[in-house]
Amino acid sequence: MSGVRVGGVLYGRETETAALRSLLEAARASTGRALVVRGEAGIGKSALLTATAETADADSGQHWTVLRCTGVESEHTWSFAGLQALLLPLTGHLESIPEHHACLLSRVLGLAAAPDKPAPPENFRFIVGMAALSLLSQAAAERPVLCVVDDAHWLDPDSADVLLFAAKRLGAEPIAMVFGVREGYAPDFPTPGLEDLVVGPLDEEAATRLLAERASALTYASRGRILQAAEGNPLALLELPSVEAETRLAADWTGQRRSTTTRLKQVFGDRIDRLPQNTRNLLLLIAADETADTALILKAAAGLGADLSDLAPAETDDLVRYRGGAFEFGHPLIRTASYQGAPSFRRVEAHQAFAAALDPEDHRRPFHLAAATTGPDESVVAALETAGTCLADCGGHSVEYAVFERAASFTPDGPDKGRRLLLAAQAALSAGNAPKAHDLAGQVARYSDDRLTLAYATIVSASVASWGGDMRAAYRLWLDAADHFTAAKPEAAGYPLFRAVELSWHSGDFARAETAAEHAERLGIEHASWVRDLAAATAGLNRSCAVTPADAIAALRRLIDIHQGFGDGVSLHDRTMVAWWRVLIGDIAGAERDLIEIVRTIRSVGAVESLPRALTINGTAEFHKGRWADAEALAENALDVSVEVGQRIGLVKTRVHVLAPIAALRGDEVGTRELIDQAVAAAPADTNVAIGAPLALLDLTLGRNEEALDRYLTVLDSEAPGDALIAVPDAVEAAVRTESTGRVADIFDWFATWAEATELPHWRALVERCRGLLAADAEAGAHYERAADLHRESGDFPFETARTDLILGEWLRRARRVNEAKSRLRSAASTFERLGAAPWAERVKRELRAAGDAGPVEAAPALAEKLTPQELQVVRLAAAGLSNREIGEQLYLSPRTAGYHLYKAYPKLGVAARGELVKLGL
């Protein structure tokens, strides 16, 4: 009953076993990996997984800790059931991991009660994932760890999320993970970022050898029919010979073709049907239990008149075994056949027996009651609602919404049904299942006319639309939510209207922002002035004649002050928004200071929906500060998290605002265009991001000034002006170099008014540089020199400082002030060389040669440029005094992996110990 495994021999699987041996060898060498073994039912996945576990057990060179669990269809109804089965053998290590991880896992693994305070609502799985990784890492410190997860497609969603999170972060750990996944007739089990091993049919030689071993007494004709019917499926080759009537095989060829899975379920079903009724009842109970609780199964069996002795016929037929104090099916399909093949009334009886056998307070009881209920039942609903609340406390959001949805299905039509659907929708949103959240929220209005309930349901729908980038739908829904709140809870109406204006900002639509502001004033809600201020800022960024840039800056500063006044009471989303406002007005130092704390907080509480945006804005700040390697590291991290949480807008803005501009300034045409193409492919509908700006910057970098000017004007006229504000000085330079200054007069006046209103030296420096470019040559020098002074006063924008030095150096050379020109040009060249901006460095070198200076430019790359993005993040945190464990928690890595990156970085930096990092100024 072990697939391709007969008498301890695997037939025809040399390639697959080699891949699995390689997995173990890598883990033994502290290079953790995960492998997903995929194939149809009976193809031999379980046999390969068993052989891998036995290989680890028999490893003469090193003892292994082998952890195993099998997904069970009924376990979909209880959060973290699979994780419990896998990690419970490691509970002896809980005392050795950080206390907060130990407490969390104790809750999740059912070893301790949930605390009074609910778990964080957003992506709790990331925190549990880090705790699980911490526990596995601690166990691996003693001996290598192999995690074997069979039938992973039947794992409860929360366990699946946590295990896949850990599998992607094994890094330098001596840990191997292998998942067995059925393809077809089973739920999808997507594993992006992990390596797949697809197991196909046996070739003819291996299939013939296997059949000869199993059924040597068959006639030649019978053997040929079985080989043809089995189609290389090992389990079919093992089981089809036991079919009594060979006409069953013939029917497969003469009628509608059936899948191998269907035929195997039929084979097992026939064998089960021949068993005594009490034996079938016992098999049904074993199949329906989600916790492998032998005592509970036998107690429930007694309620149906069965006991352990009734198992004997099934054991004799090799369908099930009792080993190690637990029941085990010979193959997962036997469990499926036992449960699905039983009549409905038998399944109801089985769940009733479990409910009767369980203590009224046991968390499993509501699920068996629900499975045994066929119509509305308020007692079952109450039990399910209590279970759903418990799941919320434990962070099992992926199952929580299913529980509340089930509770709603047993509730008569009316307000209570609507309220429970809302609870389900909110849990689905917290679990990151946007489509389900949208569907559930949309049902609420059918059963409830309570305005507060409708307000919260509309917020769920608006959040889903915002997350997916459907700005028009999101905007309308935020307004609808405000209307509902105005009728039921007026003090809460300001929040959705503020969100509506924020969406208008992102889409560059001042008209919608103004509509939302007028709506807030018309409703007379508290804090309508905040909505008006954000609308004013949006208008100023959109070059509206009704609002001056000075008014926009003043509005932004009022909003920043208001949010600061709330201290820790401000949400992470809003704190990140404030950081972006700081970047926009040029307060890079303030933004960076805020973002360091924001990112740290987001990671510590697992609120990862906010993380891509925070990392992108942080990357933008680092880009402006001339720390391009840091910016790229943060951007790559943002992309990874965006993929994990399904946030498409993060995939767009990270590429457009950080990675593509860096590639453009380095003259990487292929890389820039690939990044923009990827951004366009990922962009949700109605999302207005200035994707043309990096392409224009590339044109400017490569000397294609006419193309650059055309692109910049298109960006400023039709794309997101707020995002494109910094493009105005580039457009002015392109216009000057193409003698088309009239085309940029209006946008420069708008930009200059904005820059002066910020009162920040960087923006004023850019204005002076542009004025120099637009002035007559005799007057230009004074503007350039003023710009250079302002840049050095700012100190936050080295690339722009170098560009000003370049332009000033060119002017000084033309004015025959050669020595001064050389000084400015060498300063610019040094910066461009350090940043890897080769086209700009070459332009400076040409100017130096024209000034009679052909000497080499001494500019060693910044230390950060020597490191990989991951190494750089680890080194910076280590230099700030964080331990490997603390670094791991910040970057979602195990402590050993954090240490691995750190020690790889030491020789690149020329240091030998952690204490020396502080001296490097990182």
Q: Give counts: helices (H), strands (E), the chain.
A: 47, 9
How much is the pLDDT for 370? 80
Please give the Cα distance from 395 to 158 (Å, whole number).
9
Comparing 145-149, 430-434, 587-591, the range with the smallest average pLDDT is: 430-434
State percent of the chain over pLDDT 70: 90
Q: Where are the domains of the chain?
A: 20-198, 204-270, 275-343, 358-449, 450-525, 864-920
Under CATH, what is the fold of the domain 864-920?
Arc Repressor Mutant, subunit A (1.10.10)
What number is the average pLDDT over the span 335-343?
Answer: 88
What number is the average pLDDT over the span 618-629?
Answer: 91
How much is the pLDDT for 770? 97
Under CATH, what is the fold of the domain 20-198?
Rossmann fold (3.40.50)
Q: Which of 459, 455, 460 is nearest to 435 (CA)?
A: 460
Banded pLDDT at 460 (limits 50, 70, 90): very high
Integer angstrom CA distances of residue 592 from 94, 554, 638: 36, 21, 16
Neighbours of 750 (CB within 10 A): 19
What number is the average pLDDT over the span 535-562?
Answer: 85
- Residues whose CB falls within 8 Å of the CB of residue 800, separated by 6 or more in sequence, listed in order: 762, 765, 766, 791
CATH of domain 275-343: 1.10.10.10
Handedness of CA 212, 213, 219, 225 (dihedral sign): negative
- Residues whose CB falls within 8 Å of the CB of residue 644, separated by 6 or more in sequence, listed in order: 165, 608
How much is the pLDDT for 745? 93
Amino acid in the structure at residue 447: Y
Does residue 674 contact residue 640 with C-beta atoms inside 8 Å? no
Q: What would the two tokens of residue 540 be?
A: 């100023």
State percent of the chain over pLDDT 90: 40
pLDDT at 906 over 70: yes
- Which stretch, 394-403, 430-439, 665-674, 871-880, has highest mean pLDDT? 665-674
Banded pLDDT at 509 (limits 50, 70, 90): confident
Q: Hey, which residues does 68 pair with through a beta bridge?
A: 148
pTM of the model: 0.79
Q: Do domains 20-198 and 275-343 have the same CATH topology?
A: no
pLDDT tens string 710-740: 999 988 876 555 667 788 999 999 999 999 9
Q: Which of 712, 854, 879, 862 is nearest to 798 (CA)?
A: 862
Please give the Cα distance from 372 to 288 (Å, whole number).
12
Q: Hey, which residues does 320 pair with through a beta bridge?
A: 329
pLDDT tens string 421-445: 998 898 888 777 788 899 999 999 9
Q: What is the 3-state secondary structure (H, E, C) of 66-86?
A: EEEEECCHHHHHCCCHHHHHH
Query: 220-230 and 204-214 helices cross at what angle (nearest 10)?
Result: 130
How much is the pLDDT for 118? 44
The CA radius of gyration of the chain, in Å to the nearest whole number, is 33
pLDDT at 76 over 70: no
What number is the average pLDDT over the span 544-560?
Answer: 86
pLDDT tens string 837-860: 999 999 999 999 998 887 777 655
Average pLDDT, the chain: 85
pLDDT at 650 over 80: yes
pLDDT at 482 over 60: yes
Pairing of strands 175-182, 33-39: parallel
DSSP designation for 170: -
Maximal CA-CA distance, the chain: 107
Query: 628-645 and 611-624 helices cross at what angle (nearest 10)?
Result: 170
Query: 549-565 and 528-541 helices cross at what angle (nearest 10)?
Result: 140
What number is the average pLDDT over the span 494-519?
Answer: 83
